[in-house]
Amino acid sequence: MTSLKNLLALAAGAIVGAIVLIAPASAATLTQVTGFGSNPGNLSMYHYKPDGLANGHPVVVLLHGCTQNASGYFTNSGWRKFADQHGFALVVPQTSTANQMLGCFTWYEPGDISRGQGEALSIRNMVGHAISNLGGSASNVYVSGLSAGGAMAAVMLATYPDLFKAGSIAAGIPYKCATSSSGTSACQYSGVEKSPQQWGDLVRNAYTGYSGPYPRVAIWQGTSDGTVVPKNATELVDQWTNLRGVSQTPTSTSSLPSGTSLSVYGNNDVRLYRISNMGHGLPVDPGSAATQCGTAASYFLDTICSAYHDTVFFGLSGGVQPSPTASPTASPTTSPTSAPVCVTSSNYTHTTAGRAYHSLGYTYANGSNQNMGLWNTFQQTTLKQTGPNYWVIGC
């Protein structure tokens, strides 16, 4: 096992206690599910389905950090708000100190990070149960995680690329950076450097029979994170741009609130969010605005609402959902294969529908980052979709 010092450094935060919130209109709650299938990883399954949600809904898997649990992550991360708003279910796996002394997902153990084995298989079976028994859609499954949970999210994207459409990794680590507890320290505190091809090959070898597209990935990293150093974000970009067959040079960069910079690679294949001066944790932004979410707590850091941006990136916010049409070696394209989708609406509506985002009072089209003018209900803009979650002004 990893030394206590290393395990403590990897911890994503203290166990989150019960937090009293104003009761939502919905009566739906996070509920434990048993009998979801074989469970070689000895994990617990929790499920949240908003009231009245029809069958065929998307499913988002949330993976907590060390010393956290399913309930605390569900409460603080902000994902419930968007599940309620946009109609998708949440699957929240939970590990325990019986598995690992600080309750971490073991993102470094070969028996837990291989397809068809251990914790990875347990999480896969939870998703299968949510699809077969709880009304989820097999074609709209996503995963997001923090710290050890972020590293485990990378594991799930690598071992089950046929299941997940896209994913989000916050303060995480590339797949197979370490394959034993003794190797975790180098990954966390120094970062391990490999070529994009080498990183990509580690994922390709995780499922050698797979020939389809790999999931799109969003990466979140605080620039002052001393627990999982920022170099890991760079190596994650190398790994997933290689798998998506796009350049390691961004196609666009932009500034978002709270000192956040966004670099987009390919045709929205990979996103890298860097939050200036943020330490180790999940970005949240408490408040009632459309782009705000979450509760500030230990390792839930009041900066920007990552769940909002991931909901948009996944295509779950009411706009046209992106489809994984790029092959593992394809180059990005902005040419649609059918008649373009054109939408004329207020800049405010474009952001709430997931076609655009706002920063410092102005509105920017997703993908192209073109300035659409002031963010309000009066300014009207016509946007044309030219690729997965890629919009340009005019039609």
Q: CA–CA separation, 351 vs 346, rounded Å? A: 9
Other Cβ atoms less than 10 A from the Cβ of 246: the count is: 22
Q: CA–CA separation, 365 vs 349, rounded Å? A: 12
Q: CA–CA separation, 32 vs 30, rounded Å? A: 7
For residue 365 the two structure tokens come to 């089209």
- 311 sits in which H/E element: helix 306-314
| Selected catalytic residue, list 71, 147, 263, 368 | 147
Q: In what order do the strands lie in the sheet with 89-94?
A: 31-33, 44-48, 89-94, 57-63, 136-146, 166-170, 216-222, 270-275, 260-265, 252-256
Other Cβ atoms less than 10 A from the Cβ of 394: the count is: 9
Q: Which residues partner with 47 through β-bridges? A: 31, 91
Is 252 annotated as catalytic? no
Residues annotated as catalytic are 147
